[in-house]
Structure 1
Amino acid sequence: MAALWKAYQRLMARHPWKVQIITAGTLVGAGDVISQQLVERRGFAGHNSQRTLKMMTVGFCFVGGFAPCFLGCFLAVVGTLNGLSMEENWSKIKRDYQDTLITNYYIWPAVQVANFYFIPLNYRLAVVQCVAIVFNAYLSWKTNQL
């Protein structure tokens, strides 16, 4: 495990932008797998691989950076990828945005305060990405509910 961590650190030092994008996409995909398997209890036979690929695409293309407006855009992008009409998508955003934003504010400020005060600089991204797996599972579940 230590060798894997060191390899990750070397790659981060050489290609930080690329590694962050790949990490974000992979973790958004992992969050969807966790959502489908542990939260929704679909089982592997019922797993929607296309949904996981869509979520990973959002992670690769959009999640690489995180900002407060991210959540509204994330809901809109996933709704569009799920084939919702503009009216359905807008209705879903109005229904889900506040809960999603509140959940975001319950999790991320505390994580970031702890991260900046207690975690050495070179481990901060890893801490955020580990918490992101849980948050991504929540986002996958929330955005894929009709």
Structure 2
Amino acid sequence: MNGFVSWYTASIRRSPRLTNGVMTGSLFGVGDIIAQIGFSQDKEQKYDVARTVRAVVYGSLIFSIIGDKWYKFLNEKVVVRPGKHWANTVARVGCDQLLFAPVGIPLYYGAMSILEGKSLANAKEKVHDNWWSTLVTNWYVWPAFQLLNFSLVPVHHRLFSVNIISIFWNAFLSFKNSVSPANKALPVNFPPVPE
């Protein structure tokens, strides 16, 4: 593991965008693979390579760029008390969970819907159906991890440490994105309309 961390550190210094893009995209892809193999609703359904590719594209080209900039912003700009480590860490976690998460979740569902070739109306519906439940689940997972991440991990490795935990988070997101809510009401025509 130490060799990998050394390679990653050298790689992130040499070409940060490429390294973050490859790592983040790969880990989004792994999360999707886990979701498809381990949590498929329909055991007869074949593995969807295009779905994994979409996850890799989202992770590589969207989340890696936004996530890297976000963690640098938090580290540089969110300072409530200079020199007070824990006060600043708590403020950063608060900003992450109260500002980034509520926006990042609809970004994921919206982008994935568009990458699936669906309309903006479908993307809006997917966000509407999944935003709140995903945000609440997010609050069960991320605040405690981010407290450790922001207090123990150097800023240039934070996106990587988030990506490691995100393998499981991405599997959850991929699963949520792939299913329709069970309680979604179907339209009823009354009186019946002949087709």
TM-score under structure 1 length normalisation: 0.85
- After the TM superposition, which segments of 4 or more aligned residues of structure 1 sit over 6 Å from their partners? none
Note the C-alpha offset of 1:4. Answer: 2.9
1:29 aligns with 2:63: no
Q: Structure 1, residues 44-95: CA drift from partner, whole Å, max 9, x if none?
A: x821111100111111111112333121111111112223333333222111
Gaps of 5+ in 2: 68-99, 181-195
Q: C-alpha separation between the residues in 1 aligned to 2:173 and 2:19? A: 22
Q: C-alpha separation between the residues in 2 aligned to 1:20 and 1:123? A: 10
What secondary structure sits across from 1:3 in the alignment?
Answer: helix
Note the C-alpha offset of 1:144. Answer: 1.8
Gaps of 5+ in 1: none
- 1:136 match: 170
What secondary structure sits across from 2:46 in the alignment?
Answer: coil
CA RMSD of aligned residues (A): 2.2
- 2:144 match: 110
TM-score under structure 2 length normalisation: 0.66
Give the share of equivalent positions with the same residue, in percent.
Answer: 26
Moved more, 54-63 or 12-21: 12-21
Q: Residues 124, 57 of structure 1: CA spacing in aligned structure 2 closer, same or farther, 3 A cutoff?
A: closer
Q: C-alpha separation between the residues in 1 aligned to 2:157 and 2:124? A: 38
Q: C-alpha separation between the residues in 2 aligned to 1:6 and 1:41? A: 40
- Between the two proteins, the alignment pairs up a number of residues equal to 144
Is the 2:149–2:161 contact (alpha carbons within 8 Å) kept by the matching residues of 1? Answer: yes
Q: Residues 88, 9 of structure 1: CA spacing in aligned structure 2 closer, same or farther, 3 A cutoff?
A: same
Q: C-alpha separation between the residues in 1 aligned to 2:2 and 2:160? A: 14
1:97 aligns with 2:134: no
Pairing partner for 1:72 from 88, 94, 106: 106
What secondary structure sits across from 1:101 in the alignment?
Answer: helix
Is the 2:24–2:160 contact (alpha carbons within 8 Å) kept by the matching residues of 1? Answer: no
- 1:55 match: 55
What secondary structure sits across from 1:58 in the alignment?
Answer: helix
